[in-house]
A = this chain, B = another copy of it.
Amino acid sequence: MKGAAVSLTIGVDVGGTKVAAGIVDRQGHILEKLRLPTPAASPEGTAKVIGDAVLELLGRHQIEAVGIGAAGFVDETSSRVLFAPNLAWREEAVKKHVEERVGVPVIVENDANAAAWAEVTFGAARGRRHVMLITVGTGIGAGIVLNGELYRGRWGIAGEPGHYRVIPDGRLCGCGNRGCWEQYASGNALVAEARDFARRSPGAAVRMLQLAGDSAEKITGLEVSQAAREGDAGALRCFDIVGGWLGQGLADLAAILDPGCFVIGGGVSDAGELLLGPAREAFSHGLTGGSHRERAEIRLAELGADAGLIGAADLARGR
Contacts and interface: CB of A to CB of B under 8 A. Distances in A.
Interface string A156-191: 111111111111100000011100100000000000
A256 B177 contact: no
A289 interface: yes
B293 A82 contact: yes
B167 A168 contact: yes
A175 B289 contact: yes
Contact of A253 (B149, B159, B256, B288): B256
A177 B288 contact: yes
B73 A259 contact: no
A239 to B, nearest CB: 19
A23 to B, nearest CB: 31
Tally of this chain's copies: 2
Contacts of A154: 129-130, 258-261, 294, 296
A255 interface: yes
A165 B252 contact: yes
B255 A289 contact: no
Given A73-B289, A83-B293, A147-B149, 8 more contacts: A73-B293, A144-B257, A147-B151, A157-B258, A158-B257, A162-B255, A167-B167, A177-B288
27 contacts: A73-B289, A82-B293, A83-B289, A83-B292, A83-B293, A144-B257, A146-B146, A146-B151, A147-B149, A151-B257, A152-B258, A153-B258, A153-B259, A154-B260, A157-B293, A158-B258, A160-B256, A160-B258, A161-B256, A163-B255, A163-B289, A164-B252, A164-B256, A166-B168, A167-B167, A175-B289, A256-B256
